[in-house]
Structure 1
Amino acid sequence: MVKRIGKLRFNWRTLMMMCLAIVILPVGSAFAAVNKPFPQHTTYTAGSIKPNNVTQTSMDNTVKTKWDAWKAAYLKPAGTGKYYVKYNSAGETVSEAHGYGMLFTVLMAGYDSSAQTYFDGLYNYYKAHPSANNPYLMSWKQNSSFQNIDGQDSATDGDMDIAFSLLLADKQWGSNGTINYLQAAKNIINAIMDKEINQNQWTIRLGDWANSGSYNTATRPSDFMLNHLKAFQSATGDVRWKNVTDKTYTIINSLYSGYSASTGLLPDFVIYSGGVYKPAAANFLEDANDGNYNYNSCRTPWRIATDYLITGDNRALSQLNQMNSWIQTKVGGAPGSIKDGYKLNGTVFGSYNSGAFYAPFGVSAMTSPSYQSWLNSVWSHTASSSAEGYYEDSIKLFSLIVMSGNWWTY
């Protein structure tokens, strides 16, 4: 028996096979409903701005193009049902990169039809690599054979992004499928509070290992993900997260007033000494520039400004605006002149025009119409930039997502 429907011909056997195929699709597959498809065009805080030298469609298309390139270069299979983010030529990965991948895939759903498949594969990889200190936190580094290396403990920034991405996944696809995203988010959020927050100081630790000596009270401004902290409180009802948010804003302003009043720059690492928070000394953890604006803190204009754009919290607005004015003047309005490293007084020591440094300044420039021309320049420079490496390309893509109005929160 054949039935004509419009211009298409269906026979009942074909129709039954199609229905069966739909029934046997795994719950939580890439065919789940997408509730917040890209692009989102979020309305940010009143008075904030977006680039106005290009159309919204052009901005959306730039993000799509950069995402396609990022995915092709860095998102890789890691065995059956798993994906990971290849962060260097040796095929290694770190939890920071993993958090980035989970955020990108949930944000690009709707444009990328495989987004949930990638996200779930990244989630499965995260679950397969727990920290020895808490199974809900991620072991921070793996080699190309997906074996944990350099200690089976955590890095807080990766865990925070993974947790936030799971909250977004709950909003994007719901939590009634194969993975209960909301419960998974609460599990890692509670683990972060337990192991990665100093509950005497209410500061964000460097990882679940940093619980003794000077490391116990140290913190890292690139982990100041204030929008994440507020989402964690909203999702769990745990009011302790407000303590962390408040303390984080206090530290930002203490560093700004005490060490970078002319630039607004924040250091890579911060220590607590003599009752105050101050830039870390050289070689505190990574290298001689641990107390300068270097490859960690270059992310702070994006991380901190995003909370203002989403929530209107203006407690860091003075610091952000000082930084905006300083960098625009420092490079004469030319993003191509930004270098990869500054002392907190504004002295340059870097020599390379890294996307990890110039792109985040576009996000902070969104705080005021007085930076419109500067924002336009940073957008154009970032949008037309060539591929660099995992780290630079990730930060450029995040910055473009926020600048185009396509960031959203839990």
Structure 2
Amino acid sequence: MKRRIFLQSGSAAVATALVGCGGGGGGSSSDAAVAAGTSADTATGTTVTTASAAPTGPANLASPANPASPTTATTSSSAPAQQQATSTVPGIAYPFGSRLTPYVAGILPNNASNAQMDAKIKSFYDAWKPNIVSVPTIPGGKALRFSSSYITVSEGMGYGMLITVIMAGYDANARATFDALLTTVRARPAYGIPSGSGGPYLMDWRLDASGNSAGDGWNAMDGDLDIAMALLMADKQWGSTGTWNYKQEALNTIGALKAWNMKADGTTKGLPSANNNRTSDYMVSHFRAFKRATGDSVWDLAVDRAYWLLDNIQTTYSPNCGLMPDFIINTNTSTPAPSQGYIGDGTSTEGYYFANAERNPWRLGTDFVLTGDTRFKTICQRLTTFMQKDCGGSPGSLSIGYHLDGSSMGHSWAPTAIAGPLQCGAMVDASFQPFLNSLWTWTSSNFVTSYYDSELMLIPMIVASGNWWTT
């Protein structure tokens, strides 16, 4: 079991988290974020906070005539057929900003136009991208920098690949960067996992400062889930006839995830017990994409199991708040429960809405706007209703985390990693429009480039702006 220490950006508060061995979570690296400085973004009038030391309209929502108009969320439990326009950028199917495939449900911020939102995201992407660095021991390899002690973790590699494939069309070098990240992923497989269980196609969860394996050969499921999804998106974005066959690489990783990280009934597995798991691994939109790519019904089961577990936990342990813990135990029974601590990340906070579960609104809200599955709208509504009330509609007043009864874990640092993903949770219903607008404005005004918080702000902003798409 390997543990990493995180220092949240701009604070002196430390949270520990275990990554690898099929579990793990995130936060900003302790040896990454020191004193913060600011730089003005003259293009957008935004202040971007950076660490001084190396840190670890879619058509149905925003019409061209009124790009900031709100819409009421749909109530369909299945995805309506979508019409897709054609890209005008040679070699790129979904150039950033094109919004070629409409979301089928939900709302967007209506206090900024598409052009204004895109300008913010481009500026933040430009501020974020220098964190992608060359890997000394892997020729041609690059990595999303995690800390001075560990150049990267697989979680970060997944984030980097998702972001770069989405930003193609704005960034002329996006594909080259994506390929360099993939080179590192494949150069450092999870060697502790037998080949027959997919080891060559899962990534060692952590690499040292030089880029050598430092995770004892085990994978972290969240990293490999995002890597697999990014590969499917790369196939759709660029095709698979170049240096890498993205589609085949995706299928290889999806098969390995099924073999190593999934039960036959669709439940995700954790360690030290396969009957533990992490709620932020319930990437239901990814599961649906894997089903489309493979035809394997286990991914349908994974969607259903994720909903059942989340609904059970919310209604049993957080009926007044709709909160979810970082980790769940006893997933093989009819009475799953929040972790009491020290079974996943190796911390006492595993049963709280904290460093892992704070990603859930991003994952689940994204699925709703893409599919209209009202089960995940319900999960997000419960949570977002509580969060909106708790902070009085002012995102800067959010806690850094919550006990499942809604009591605060404190305000030791700015709630960047809470507020960023919550944008997607607020997208599920028009009643959250003012709160969504406030979340967009606050996130746009408080962007940081330190690891984890940065990605948990940038990716949800891409989703909230209407720029996300799936395969």
Following the alignment from structure 1 to structure 2, what is the Cα–Cα distance between the partners of residues 283 and 337?
Answer: 29
| Aligned match of 1:153 | 218
Q: How much does 1:360 deviate?
A: 1.1
Q: How much does 1:175 deviate?
A: 0.8
| Aligned match of 1:338 | 398
Q: How much does 1:350 deviate?
A: 2.8
Q: Percent identity?
A: 38
Q: How much does 1:90 deviate?
A: 3.0
| Aligned match of 1:7 | none
Aligned-partner SS, 1:76: strand
How do residues 132-171 of structure 1 correspond to structure 2 at under 5 angstroms? 132=191, 133=193, 134-171=199-236
| Aligned match of 2:165 | 106
Following the alignment from structure 1 to structure 2, what is the Cα–Cα distance between the partners of residues 81 and 192?
Answer: 26
Consecutive unaligned residues in structure 1, runs of 5 or more: 1-30
Of 83, 87, 110, which aligns to 2:146? 87
| Aligned match of 1:205 | 269
| Aligned match of 1:297 | 357
Of 123, 130, 134, which aligns to 1:77? 134
Q: How far does the alpha carbon of each residue in 1:179-226 deviate from its partner, in whole angstroms, 9 at most, with x for none?
A: 111011000000000011022x421123xxx3xxx6211111111110
The structure with more helix, counted as a fraction of residues: 1
Q: How much does 1:150 deviate?
A: 3.3
Aligned length: 371
Following the alignment from structure 1 to structure 2, what is the Cα–Cα distance between the partners of residues 121 and 36?
Answer: 20
Q: How far does the alpha carbon of each residue in 1:315-371 deviate from its partner, in whole angstroms, 9 at most, with x for none?
A: 122221121111111011100001211001100013222211111111110111111
- Does residue 398 (structure 1) correspond to residue 456 (structure 2)? The answer is no
Q: How far does the alpha carbon of each residue in 1:79-99 deviate from its partner, in whole angstroms, 9 at most, with x for none?
A: 432111101233521000000
Aligned Cα root-mean-square deviation (Å): 1.5
Equivalent residues of 1:252, 1:316 under 8 A apart? no
**Normalised TM-score (structure 2):** 0.77
Following the alignment from structure 1 to structure 2, what is the Cα–Cα distance between the partners of residues 164 and 290?
Answer: 26
**Normalised TM-score (structure 1):** 0.88
| Aligned match of 1:19 | none
Equivalent residues of 1:40, 1:405 under 8 A apart? no
Q: How much does 1:126 deviate?
A: 0.5
Following the alignment from structure 2 to structure 1, what is the Cα–Cα distance between the partners of residues 344 and 258?
Answer: 23
Of 425, 428, 438, which aligns to 1:364? 425
Equivalent residues of 2:150, 2:206 under 8 A apart? no
Q: Which amino acid aligns with 2:284?
A: L
| Aligned match of 2:287 | 229
Of 35, 45, 50, which aligns to 2:104? 45
Aligned-partner SS, 2:170: coil
| Aligned match of 1:253 | 311
- Answer with 1 or 2: which has the greater Rg: 1
Q: Which runs of at least 4 in structure 1 moved beyond 4 Å after TM superposition?
A: none
Equivalent residues of 1:40, 1:407 under 8 A apart? no
| Aligned match of 1:325 | 385
Q: How far does the alpha carbon of each residue in 1:353-407 deviate from its partner, in whole angstroms, 9 at most, with x for none?
A: 2211111111110111111110000000001114252100011001100010011
Higher RCO (C-alpha under 8 Å, 6+ residues apart): 2
| Aligned match of 2:343 | 284
Aligned-partner SS, 2:273: helix
